[in-house]
Amino acid sequence: MATMNKPVIAGIAAGILLAGIILGPLPGFFSAEAQEEETATGNIKRVTLIADEVDVQVAPDNPLHPGGVMYRAMVFNGTVPGPVISVDQGQTIEFTLINEGEVIHSMDFHAGNGPSSAVGSAASETGSNIQPGQSVTWTWSPPYAGVFYYHCGADGLNGVWEHIANGMYGGIVVHPENERPAKEFYVVFGEIYSNNIQGLFTAANGTGTLDLNKFLARNPDLVMTNGMAHKYVPEIGAFSTIPLNPDAEVFQVQPGELTRWYIVNGGPSDIVAFHFISGILNVHDGSVQNRFGTQVLNDEGWTIPPGSGSVIEITFPEEGIYVGVDHAMDDVLKGAAFAVLATPESTPDDHPAGTMVPPRGSPMVSGPPAAANATAGAAANATEAGAEPAAQNQTLDVIDANATEAGAEAGGNATEDLAAGAPDTAAEVGANATETGGEAGTTEETGAAPPAEGGAAETGATTGTGATGAEGGGTGVSIVPGSSSLTTDAFQPNPIPVGVGDTVTWTNDDSQPHTATSGEAVTPDGRFDSGIMAPAATFDFTFTEAGEYPYFCLLHPNMVGTVSVS
């Protein structure tokens, strides 16, 4: 249950600055289309989520982040956050999770009560934890009304922090029996801790991945609203303006109408001190069983812990601009704000894409989704595997009754297309095994350092102990940046050809811990094991017998490699 917070209002100047938002041309209305086939059969709603890893844009091109910011995210149905799931109290959910990614994924519903409901403990031998290419289905019923968090649980909590920090979260709305009609919106806050952002007013360096040190220090680079910093804020300032997002959609409401905001804190770590500038809010939540619980009326702020959601009701009394913010001012600067325009021109269905919540009694599970935000590099075939799932979800359901059909149509090509960006991403950070091996040989012959543009992966390969000129790589191995989302590209070079008596040195060039553990199929064989390697750590092993030595990372079993000793 969320706890009330009445912060002392400091930073008045910053509040005034935000209140001075000037709107550019407003985008066109986004009309919701009725689905052609119902997602509900009697008292059952069928929900399908597709897990994957793709490149997404997490900050627009603006003076704070010139050129914008790209990030290698983990996603449900192609976007950060995952789609809203809307059900009525008393309904049953038939839930299917399809893993079209390269790593193990799972599901944790905070609206569930008991392991069989919340995490699908009885859905298979491994619960809802599934390998790439697999799917799992279970049936459950959320007992309490309100808005609740859902997220990927990684491999039985092993790496859950990484999957959440990389964007695998969303909200499930359980409408109470006595809910009043209102215009409803879905807004999710979330943090990004990226290794490609050096600070404000500086261009990002390539596509980022999780920086574990920033994560542990609770120092996010960005705080997103529905997957992007300043996604719904065109610009700020009344006299001296700062453009933030020229493509921003702005929420629109009628003056005097009741609006309901499902505010979810995706975290992974910080609270959201939620406030509407120029507005007074009421908080209703699911703490009172069998009715729409009233927590607080006529207040200015509400604290939402990470991994939680709250139902905020507000009536905007007059025309003008209102701003929803996380009132921690550093988070506002990092992106945690959205603009609301109260205007008589607003219509019932002019929600920004992906923010509409089907009301109580609707056969829909989710509103018209936001376009999948994977880049062309991460979704090579946008029609089939990138934008198509979002478009299809309007009729297939974000969220479909048939797992096989959803896997084939909404994500069937994801392994080939959405995940196709993995080799390209690795190459961008210096991951071409042949090139890396060649440069390792050059280092041995000339003693010169390789070009800096190769990135950390090349550096790891060329600075490893005793690099030889052998074709395909030397004895220095890099665990490349972003490796937790990769497979055979995670260790570079791969395979590693060496001779009997040679020593192989692994260097962890990623920002997360890893291991180099001999064995395969997630089963160590006892030949060698690095133990947990912190970022920048190394591990040496001398091979005394010829043969093939497969190995993997215990923390990320999708990462695999081979040492060939002759």
CATH number at residue 526: 2.60.40.420
Is residue 185 domain-resident? yes
Is residue 477 domain-resident? yes
d(CA 451, CA 456): 11
d(CA 327, CA 349): 28
Output 9 or 54, whichever has higher pLDDT.
54
Query: What is the span of the domain harbouring residue 450?
Result: 430-565
d(CA 53, CA 399): 18
pLDDT tens-digit map of 476-524 = 999 998 787 788 999 999 999 999 999 999 999 987 778 899 998 778 8
Is residue 401 domain-resident? yes
Question: How would you classify residue 2: left for phi > 0, otherwise alpha for psi between -120 and 50, otherwise beta?
Answer: beta
318 and 226 within one domain: yes
Is residue 1 domain-resident? no
Is residue 98 domain-resident? yes
Answer for the pair 144, 174: CB distance below 8 angstroms, yes or no. yes
116 and 46 within one domain: yes
435 and 418 within one domain: no
**Partner residues linked to 96 by β-bridges:** 48, 137
Q: Where is the domain boundary, 422, 448, 479?
A: 422
Spatial CA neighbour of 111 closest among 272, 262, 329, 320: 262
Is residue 43 domain-resident? yes
Q: Where is the domain boundary, 394, 422, 450?
A: 422
Residues present in the chain in total = 566
Query: Within 10 Å of residue 536's Cβ, how many Cβ atoms?
Result: 12
Is residue 3 domain-resident? no
159 and 62 within one domain: yes
372 and 458 within one domain: no
pLDDT for residue 150 is more than 50: yes
* Residue 296: predicted pLDDT: 73
Output 446 or 307, whichever has higher pLDDT.
307
411 and 474 within one domain: no
524 and 376 within one domain: no
pLDDT for residue 225 is more than 90: yes
H-type alpha helices, 217-287:
none
Q: How many domains does the chain have?
A: 2
Which pLDDT band holds residue 25 (cuts at 50, 70, 90)?
very low
**Which secondary structure element, helix H or strand E, spans residue 285, and what is its range?**
strand 281-285
* Residue 28: predicted pLDDT: 25
434 and 408 within one domain: no
Please report, as a single letter, which amino acid is at residue 88: D
What mean pLDDT, rounded, does the chain reach? 76
pLDDT tens-digit map of 232-262 = 999 998 888 889 999 999 999 999 999 999 9
458 and 316 within one domain: no
Residue 224, SS3 per DSSP: strand
pLDDT tens-digit map of 416-467 = 222 223 333 333 323 333 333 333 333 333 333 333 333 333 333 333 333 3
Q: Where is the domain boundary, 422, 445, 473?
A: 422
Is residue 293 domain-resident? yes
Which pLDDT band holds residue 555 (cuts at 50, 70, 90)?
confident
pLDDT for residue 12 is more than 70: no
468 and 390 within one domain: no
pLDDT for residue 50 is more than 80: yes
Cα within 13 Å of Cα(370), Cβ side: 25
363 and 480 within one domain: no
394 and 339 within one domain: yes
- This prediction has a pTM of 0.66
* Residue 433: predicted pLDDT: 32
